[in-house]
Amino acid sequence: MRFFEQDGKLVAKEQNETLLLEAWGTNSLRVRSTKNALFSGGNGALDGSAGRGEVHIGEEGASIANGTLRCEVSARGFLQFFRGDTPLLKEYSRDWRGANEHSPSMKFAAREYKPVSGNDYEIFLRFEAGEEKLFGMGQYQQPNFDLKGCILELAQRNSQVSIPFCLSSKGYGFLWNNPGIGTAVFGANYTEWHGKLSEEIDYWITAGDTPKEILEHYTEVTGRAPEFPENALGLWQCKLRYRTQEEVLSVAREYHRRGIPLDVIVIDFFHWVRQGDWSFDPLYFPDPAAMTKELKEMGTRCMVSIWPTVDRKSVNFPPMFDEGLFVRTERGSMQCFDFQGDTVIYDALNPAARDYLWGKAKQNYYDKGIDMFWLDEAEPEYSAYDHEHYRHFTGPALKVGNLYPKEHAKAFYEGMKKAGQTDIVNLLRSAWAGSQKYAAVVWSGDIRSNFATLRDQFAAGLNIGIAGIPWWTTDTGGFFGEVTSPDFRELLVRWFEFSVFCPVLRMHGDRGPHDIPPLSELDYGGGFSPTGRPNELWSYGEEVYSILKKYLDLRLSLRGYLKEVMKEASEKGYPVMRTMFFEFPEDEKCWECKEQYMFGPRYLVAPVLWQGMTERKVYLPHGRWRDLHSGEVCGGGKTVTVAAPLEIIPVFEKL
């Protein structure tokens, strides 16, 4: 290869390939490779700009260093990364570029480009498999906490959130800086990053002595969450669905009568006439301004559900169609989603579409006192996840589709900020790298009500925090649940105990059986869609209510502590739910811990994730720990067995 230095950047060329290595952030490098004449431009998920690295060019290759991270490029274009003298990552190659100890006859390249058309390629990037544990990558519905050995689709789906950043136990973090659809394979023989359609390979790597350092570096360049509003740290009350203004107020009044603080109440979908109207059905919500005024007098904020879907019969369809504000289909008729209507989806990657949607939301909700938005369907959800069938304002979904939830969050965050609001927090069902800076709480989607799914949420919540999203929640009790099931109350209690020690405490679910008649015989409007059974704290009998109320009181007693933890998320990028190794990286057993975590730096939480369990083992790292329930203090560096009857979630305070 031919090597050049350009303003502290390392450039390498060989035939039609150009490599560009740049210092970007603290102890971090950005690497790009293309077979086009020029790089495409743009920074992807990265904020800021390139700095100056320390570049050396010699006869046997070249290197670039930024702080403790160094990349060496061989004369044949083979890349290896080091933290000081410690090897971190090296490319996997079984062709002429590879290291001498491997056979070149397989012609297996570390960087592979398969032409598609024009300037676009199907791309592959491969690294040697190391002895390591891998965490992060967003949210996947699986119990695997350590992702080594997993194959992960890089695509957004309902309950799947693709954020292509992983943290390695070897001391590095890696961001696949590509918003296209693809796959990450963390195999035993090699690691492979695959993009189905792209102009170039683009990734960012950082080095750190601890997981905290790595997360600080990562969020330094992708953004950090703003300050979490104190008036949303308590209980969020929701169900599928409160159908009328009076239903909403009656629930809030009952909380107020019982003396239970209610921070947020949520109005779910089909409170509108048609999807895409982005307004209340006046028959069932005759005076939203009066509703929000009364709620605020009780200390309760109101959130409404916003879908990105637009019915062809919506009042907003004609002007949006004329302006080209929808996701396009590559073949056949323009339809994206067919749930209770023939709908298309607004294109969040189009700035004009974002402005249009926020304008309607401001006029019909925000100006009436609604100051929180539930951005549901934010992947967006398609009737079929046939990504090659859709095209956005900035390109095919295969190439840019994973950006959708981030741009959708941006539309509302920037609109609310421009309106002068400071306590911004919105709820989304998906995210991408950097979504955290747009005040996005991610929830884990429409999931089953069972203990297996609860265990999936444990892994999901911790890994999405490693991927940079500190604000996360679930449907407490799961979304699809039958309240008449004999096991549901046990599940709800165990889930609520877990939710109390999540960043956001939120009651929600579709509580069957669905034997409540609709308010209207019409096939549209705010009265036709069904509603589930009641889902308030008192809805499941006195025994359950007493436990839920006890844990809500505990949550409220921790407000001051939660503010401190949220401040760390805002200032340093730390997750609220933290893996054990995040707080105790020097303790090898903490890298092996399953089914326990740290809630901020002080509280060790060991949720009960198995039906019928009444005791469990908990590993206590070195130090002194106080049992939050019994008050007993014991030393760490050992595993203890603790009682966990239905009313107890084991929690230990670090002294």
Closest among 233, 156, 181 to 408, alpha carbons compared = 156
Alpha-carbon distance of 155 to 162, in angstroms, equals 6
For 344, the enclosing helix (H) or strand (E) is strand 343-345
Contact present, 585 and 613 (Cβ < 8 Å): no
Whether the bond into 380 is cis, omega within 30 of 0: yes
DSSP summary character for residue 208: -
Residues 6+ apart with CB under 8 A from 376: 269, 305, 306, 307, 429
Q: What is the DSSP string of 366-411?
A: GGGT--EEEETTTTT--SS--GGGEEETTEEHHHHGGGHHHHHHHH
Q: Which residues are catalytic?
A: 376, 379, 446
Alpha-carbon distance of 479 to 547, in angstroms, equals 21
Q: What is the DSSP string of 478-512?
A: -SEEETTSTTHHHHHHHHHHHHHTSSSEEE--EEE
Residue 106 has which token pair?
């397989």
Distances (CA, A) of 387 to 351, 390, 400, 587: 21, 6, 10, 43
| Neighbour tally for 212: CB within 10 Å | 17
Bridge pairing between strands 505-507 and 235-237 = parallel
Q: Identify residue 295 by its one-letter amino acid code.
A: L
Contact present, 194 and 164 (Cβ < 8 Å): no
Bridge pairing between strands 9-14 and 2-6 = antiparallel
Distances (CA, A) of 543 to 157, 547, 608: 37, 7, 18
Phi then psi dihedrals of residue 266, to 5 deg: -120, 135
Whether the bond into 351 is cis, omega within 30 of 0: no
Bridge pairing between strands 440-443 and 426-428 = parallel
Q: Identify residue 343 by its one-letter amino acid code.
A: T
Contact present, 381 and 337 (Cβ < 8 Å): yes
Alpha-carbon distance of 447 to 159, in angstroms, equals 7
